[in-house]
């Protein structure tokens, strides 16, 4: 009887005009499509990021996730909340991968309130009193991801409150040292906000504290967000669909340019060595990994690990902030990963496809060049298509042909 129980509920969903995606704009240049404009801005982003700018490598980012009623909307599949949390998991992973010496915290807002889902790491105080009270360690995505996975089941009710969420984030961010960046990223689905006081006053405070607020809107452009982002120097984007959403979210992985007024200071860092003592070694003493103290599960005793050069506390994972002496512990590859932000790959030169002599194939993906413009590397003059150009600049951070030439001959 009930053959397709899942599909049968399609009528309950909203009306969709799926065919419109395929529509072409035939009326020529008078109605330039938004996609064209988007493409231009995509290119621009790649080009823009190549200035020699000072970047805020040590970031403190709060992500505010709207959990209000409108998150139940099904225009993202299966609904906005699930989709957002899914993307956030990927974001957190990628964030720590690219910014190993940064921190992130998550705030949710619903029912006119804001609450912390996960906190930024507590910095260097009250060490010996109670080791169990620490909440999260820097650079450790696991905590956030478990919290995000739990949040899928939250009920979306009421309205969000921009004011309360920003205020909550400020409480922590304002204590962060001046050489680090203070950022808030808001994922806002609702079109209204319920504020206890005048938000424009709060925007002024944010500005004076040099907190950068960016917003990703899930439905439409809201005035107050435009002002908020403009005043604090952040960016404001509204998603078109899921893939665009992901793209916008990933934009925030790259560290923002540091404001010239932020103070410079040298930071003490420890580079612990990984030692693996063999079980046969009689001198080796098993020790507890400090990062597992607060989590009930996971391995307890181990023989090897990373030892803090200052106090010899053991950790199984890096990067981490030493819970005993407060030293930031990183590994050299971590720093190297942040390196490409500072010395990015040069922008490729765009030229029309007609100017190209010889084969019209992309050097990277080997596909035929069909777009009207191609991109060539300024040092090795290899030609790429737009997709590969984006991939090289956003993920690889080095020109594959240059590398090949360096190694081959």
Q: Whole-number minimum distance, CB 306 to other proteins, in Å?
A: 44
Name beta bridge partners: 289.
Answer: 314
Give the CA dihedral 68, 69, 73, 78, nearest 10 degrees. 70
Contacts of 183 by beta carbon, 8 Å cutoff, 6+ apart: 59, 60, 61, 62, 211, 212, 213, 214, 234, 252, 256
Which residues form the interface with other proteins (CB under 8 A)?
A: 14-17, 20, 29-32, 34, 37-38, 40-41, 70, 75, 159, 162, 191-195, 198-200, 217, 219-226, 237-240
Residues 335 and 139 sit within 8 Å (Cβ to Cβ) = no
Q: Of the two residues 34 and 398, which places its CB atom closer to other proteins in the complex?
A: 34
Residues 323 and 134 sit within 8 Å (Cβ to Cβ) = yes
**For 364, which DSSP code?**
T
CA–CA separation, 361 and 26 (whole Å):
28
Q: Whole-number minimum distance, CB 82 to other proteins, in Å?
A: 19
How many H helices and E strands in the chain?
Answer: 10, 17
Q: Whole-number minimum distance, CB 157 to other proteins, in Å?
A: 11
Contacts of 59 by beta carbon, 8 Å cutoff, 6+ apart: 99, 102, 103, 104, 180, 181, 183, 255, 256
Residues 93 and 142 sit within 8 Å (Cβ to Cβ) = no
**For 393, which DSSP code?**
I
Q: Of the two residues 57 and 188, which places its CB atom closer to other proteins in the complex?
A: 188
Give one DSSP letter per residue of 28-39, joined into a string.
GGGG--HHHHHH
Q: Of the two residues 110 and 143, which places its CB atom closer to other proteins in the complex?
A: 110
Q: Whole-number minimum distance, CB 35 to other proteins, in Å?
A: 9
CA–CA separation, 24 and 36 (whole Å):
12
Q: Whole-number minimum distance, CB 30 to other proteins, in Å?
A: 6
Q: Of the two residues 170 and 228, which places its CB atom closer to other proteins in the complex?
A: 228
Between β-strands 103-110 and 301-302, what pairing exists: parallel, antiparallel or unpaired?
unpaired
Burial of 120 (0-12, 13-18, 19+ CB in 10 A): buried
Q: Whole-number minimum distance, CB 49 to other proteins, in Å?
A: 16
Q: Whole-number minimum distance, CB 112 to other proteins, in Å?
A: 12
Q: Whole-number minimum distance, CB 83 to other proteins, in Å?
A: 15
Q: Whole-number minimum distance, CB 24 to other proteins, in Å?
A: 14
Q: Of the two residues 37 and 365, which places its CB atom closer to other proteins in the complex?
A: 37
Q: Of the two residues 137 and 167, which places its CB atom closer to other proteins in the complex?
A: 167
Q: Of the two residues 84 and 376, which places its CB atom closer to other proteins in the complex?
A: 84
CA–CA separation, 252 and 113 (whole Å):
25
């Amino acid at each position: 009887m009930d053959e397709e129980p899942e599909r049968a509920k399609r009528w309950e969903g909203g009306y969709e005009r799926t065919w419109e995606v395929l529509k072409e704009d035939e009326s020529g240049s008078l109605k330039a499509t938004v996609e064209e404009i988007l493409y231009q801005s995509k290119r621009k982003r790649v080009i823009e990021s190549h200035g020699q700018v000072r970047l805020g490598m040590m970031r403190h980012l709060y992500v505010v996730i709207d959990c209000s009623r409108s998150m139940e909307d099904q225009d993202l599949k299966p609904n906005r909340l699930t989709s957002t949390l899914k993307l956030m998991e990927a974001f957190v992973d990628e964030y720590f991968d690219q910014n190993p010496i940064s921190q992130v915290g998550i705030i949710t807002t619903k029912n006119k309130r804001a609450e912390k889902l996960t906190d930024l790491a507590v910095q260097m105080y009250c060490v010996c009193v109670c080791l169990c009270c620490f909440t999260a360690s820097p650079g450790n995505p696991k905590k956030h991801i478990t919290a995000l996975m739990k949040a899928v089941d939250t009920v979306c009710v009421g309205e969000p409150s921009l004011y309360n969420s920003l205020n909550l984030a400020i409480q922590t961010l304002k204590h962060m040292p001046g050489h680090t960046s203070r950022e808030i990223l808001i994922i806002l689905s609702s079109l209204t906000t319920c504020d206890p006081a005048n938000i424009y006053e709060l925007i002024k405070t944010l500005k004076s504290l040099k907190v950068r607020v960016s917003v990703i809107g899930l439905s439409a452009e809201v005035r107050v967000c435009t002002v908020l982002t403009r005043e604090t120097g952040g960016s404001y984007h509204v998603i078109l669909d899921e893939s665009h959403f992901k793209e916008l979210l990933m934009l925030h992985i790259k560290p923002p340019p540091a404001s010239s007024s932020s103070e410079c200071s040298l930071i003490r860092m420890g580079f612990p060595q990984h030692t693996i003592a063999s079980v046969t070694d009689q001198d080796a003493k098993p020790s507890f990994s400090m990062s597992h103290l607060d989590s009930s599960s996971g391995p307890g005793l181990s023989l090897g690990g990373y030892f803090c050069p200052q106090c010899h506390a053991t950790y199984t994972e890096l990067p981490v902030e030493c819970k005993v002496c407060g030293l930031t512990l990183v590994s050299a590859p971590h720093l190297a990963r942040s390196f490409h932000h500072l010395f990015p790959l040069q922008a490729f030169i765009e030229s029309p496809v007609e100017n190209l002599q010889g084969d019209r194939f992309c050097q990277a993906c080997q596909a035929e060049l069909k777009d009207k413009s191609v991109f060539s590397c300024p040092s090795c003059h290899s030609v790429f298509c737009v997709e590969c150009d984006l991939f090289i600049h956003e993920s690889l951070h080095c020109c594959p042909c240059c590398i090949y030439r360096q190694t081959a001959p």
